[in-house]
Structure 1
Amino acid sequence: MATLSSFLLATSLVLAGCAGGGGGNASGTAGGGGTAGKPHVLKVANYFATDHPQNVALREKFKPMVEEKSGGSLQVQIYDNSKLGAEKEFYDGVRNGTIEMGIPGLIMQADVPKMAVGEWPFLFKDFAHAKKVLEGPIGKEMTDEMESKHGVHALAWSANGFRMFSSNRPIASVNDFQGMRIRMPNIPNYIKLGQLLGANITPMPISEVFTALEQKVVDGQDNPIATLKASGWYEVQTDVLESKHMFSPNLYIINGKLWSQLTPEQQRILEEAAKAAADYEWELLEKSYEDDKKFLQEKGIRFTTPDESFRQAMETAAGPLYDEIYQTYPWAKEMVEKIKAEAK
């Protein structure tokens, strides 16, 4: 009996030690210093064509970085080309949590007015100027209210590029805008600018633009030429005006509630991957301009570069929009001055 009791006691101690060690290792693996966390599938929605630099960057940078560095606890699924709805639909999906992530433009500006700054006309000199502003204190100030007002957390600024008008006839002066039917996003600043230039503006989702151009419901549209190429609109257009009338940024966002549920390490991984992918996309987009232009010219697209007087005429036409902005938002004039100062 004494021998049996000693054996049972020793066995129980060994089992207790194993249980304790196993629990410690399991805790260490699950916590992993905060690396593993609860697994999540991240649907990332956007409206860009599959081969647009936004989706190239998502595939080549964001997805592999997130999945590898999270040890598989974060899985990325990319839904391009408006597969989860047009911009408003997928942005609302991120807000309410049915979609985890998205890369919208500045559609939220109606409720978050400072987000509109990125698309005020003739404000940015070049890519370097836009990137410096958006990635600095001004860009942070623009996104500060997004989480409290819309429940989405901003991760990184990316670029859509400088917008230009494509059309089915040349635009050689401001007078050529008169009566032209142009599709622009359903955003007040866009619509007002188009009207000030003399065009008749028809707002519609980007997914409907090709058909509208093909059926001549509209005569033209405005977007960076990377979008013109990737979306195939060159098949139903003949001309591009290199107006660079507006810079159009995009933003990596994630549902705020989901963000708060992630471990600090998962959050760090997403921030680093979003920044790396966005930087890559900026680089791809800027470098692709001349290649895109050559491609479009080979497809028969004629480019018109406005001279200084034409450009000045467009900027003058946009003046009343700035007057309206300054009257509406007391902070706007100072912010415009700060942005222009960053170009020096």
Structure 2
Amino acid sequence: MKKVLGMFLGLTIILLLAACGGSDSAQGEGDGETITWKLGHLANEEHQWHKTAEKFAELVKEKTDGKLQIEIYPNEQLGSEIEVLNSIEAGTVDMTISGESMQNWAPEAALMAVPYAFKNEEHLKKVIEGEIGKEIESAIKEKVGVTPLYYHLRAPRNLTSKKPIKSPEDLEGFKMRVPNVPLFMDAWEAAGASPQVMAFSEVFTAIQQGVIDGQENPVDLIHSASFYEVQNYVNKTQHVRSWIYVVVGNEQLNSLSEDMQAAVKEAAKEAQEYGMKLYKEETDKYIKMLKDEGMEFVEVDQDAFAEAMKPAVEKSLNEEQLKLYEKILKAAK
């Protein structure tokens, strides 16, 4: 009898310990339990996206009384943009920062970075925050399985060179690097340049050695890559204006109570305003830094570049994308 009683007590203690251990890592909305979301992205700790993500995490914690916490993993610690999107689908990651890469699932997302689709920043914001933006968000939600919470504007892409480039005519014989985006290759070829795909890490040396004459990127990347050491001009082509979303998995968001979902959306709205302020400050800062390093900013005939690239852009889009593209162009009027 004593043996049976001893075994029973021992089993009870084991079960109690197991139960206590499980409650520490529980994910749910029970009493005292904390939900943790993992956010993986590609930027470094100094980047405005990361700083805004930190602000968002702080706001979420505050507005949910600590019931929802967000852990942030910069520098591709959880994988590349595509890998993290796949991980969200698998349920091992919860959030990321993603843009036109989502066209792998939702073709509509390709319109987030099309050459000369947007005339200026006002036009871009009008599209993002209007009916077209809602259409793109709905497609992302349905086809990618993630919900956009807030967005970041990206600084326009500009062409750098050793001599001024003011019109497509100046591109004759101009060898330039483009990222591995077929549309970029086709658009610059149509404009008269000789584009070639090259890893970003190889561009500085290629310019230095005369393999290429220039490249195109936003001002923050032009500065961080020290292109001012091998290029004299930033030609204000502003050929791609784009944005990027901070997204969370649909399942993760829907698993929250209505109150917590409302808190997340409220935090996202405030983070949006914070991120927009940082974007303006950062962009102005990098322009000044490049000028201080001796780079000259050149006004170009953007209409001529847009006209030259348009046939290549239209050819690259499928019927569904083309309709959205035409809506975007009309929204500028």
The TM-score by the shorter chain falls in which range?
A: 0.7 to 0.9
CA distance in 2, matches of 1:31, 1:98: 21
How far 1:134 sits from its partner (Å)? 0.5
Does structure 1 residue 311 correspond to structure 2 residue 302? yes
Does structure 1 residue 145 correspond to structure 2 residue 139? yes
Q: Which residue of 2 aligns with 1:44?
A: 40
Does structure 1 residue 67 correspond to structure 2 residue 56? no
- Opposite residue 267 of structure 1, the aligned amino acid is Q
Question: What secondary structure is seen at the aligned counterpart in 1 of 2:157?
Answer: strand
CA contact (8 A) 2:40 2:84 kept: no
Q: Which residue of 2 aligns with 1:267?
A: 261
CA contact (8 A) 1:178 1:197 kept: no
How far 1:229 sits from its partner (Å)? 3.1
CA distance in 1, matches of 2:113, 2:242: 6
Q: Which residue of 2 aligns with 1:213?
A: 204
CA contact (8 A) 1:158 1:249 kept: yes
Superposition pairs of residues 32-181 of structure 1, within 5 angstroms:
38-45=34-41, 47-59=42-54, 61-181=55-175
How far 1:330 sits from its partner (Å)? 4.9
* CA gap 1:285/1:198 in 2 versus in 1, 3 angstroms: same
Q: 1:225 aligns with which of 219, 222, 227?
A: 219
CA distance in 2, matches of 1:246, 1:296: 20
Question: What secondary structure is seen at the aligned counterpart in 1 of 2:98?
Answer: coil
- Opposite residue 144 of structure 1, the aligned amino acid is S
CA distance in 2, matches of 1:110, 1:200: 27
Superposition pairs of residues 240-251 of structure 1, within 5 angstroms:
240-251=234-245
Q: Which residue of 1 aligns with 2:319?
A: 329
CA distance in 2, matches of 1:86, 1:168: 33
Gap runs ≥5 in structure 1: 1-29
CA contact (8 A) 1:127 1:286 kept: no
How far 1:325 sits from its partner (Å)? 5.1
Gap runs ≥5 in structure 2: 1-28
How far 1:164 sits from its partner (Å)? 1.1
How far 1:258 sits from its partner (Å)? 2.1
TM-score scaled by structure 1? Answer: 0.76
- Opposite residue 78 of structure 2, the aligned amino acid is L
Identity of aligned residues (%): 30
How far 1:242 sits from its partner (Å)? 0.8
How far 1:63 sits from its partner (Å)? 2.0
Structure 1 window deviating more from structure 2 (117-126 vs 36-45): it is 36-45
CA contact (8 A) 1:158 1:279 kept: no
- Opposite residue 312 of structure 1, the aligned amino acid is D
CA RMSD of aligned residues (A): 3.0
Tell me how many residue pairs correspond in the alignment: 303
How far 1:244 sits from its partner (Å)? 1.0
CA distance in 2, matches of 1:105, 1:218: 28
CA distance in 1, matches of 2:98, 2:79: 11
How far 1:305 sits from its partner (Å)? 1.3
Question: What secondary structure is seen at the aligned counterpart in 2 of 1:103?
Answer: strand
Question: What secondary structure is seen at the aligned counterpart in 2 of 1:144?
Answer: helix
CA contact (8 A) 1:44 1:76 kept: no
CA distance in 2, matches of 1:95, 1:235: 43
TM-score scaled by structure 2? Answer: 0.78
How far 1:266 sits from its partner (Å)? 2.8
CA distance in 2, matches of 1:42, 1:57: 15
- Opposite residue 74 of structure 1, the aligned amino acid is L
* CA gap 1:136/1:270 in 2 versus in 1, 3 angstroms: same
CA distance in 1, matches of 2:308, 2:247: 34
- Opposite residue 46 of structure 2, the aligned amino acid is D
CA contact (8 A) 1:52 1:230 kept: no
CA distance in 1, matches of 2:57, 2:186: 38
How far 1:31 sits from its partner (Å)? 5.7
* CA gap 1:279/1:195 in 2 versus in 1, 3 angstroms: farther
Does structure 1 residue 184 correspond to structure 2 residue 178? yes
CA contact (8 A) 1:96 1:255 kept: no
CA distance in 1, matches of 2:96, 2:225: 19
CA distance in 2, matches of 1:97, 1:219: 45
CA distance in 1, matches of 2:212, 2:104: 25
Q: Which residue of 2 aligns with 1:198?
A: 192
CA distance in 2, matches of 1:276, 1:183: 38
- Opposite residue 339 of structure 1, the aligned amino acid is I
* CA gap 1:319/1:43 in 2 versus in 1, 3 angstroms: closer
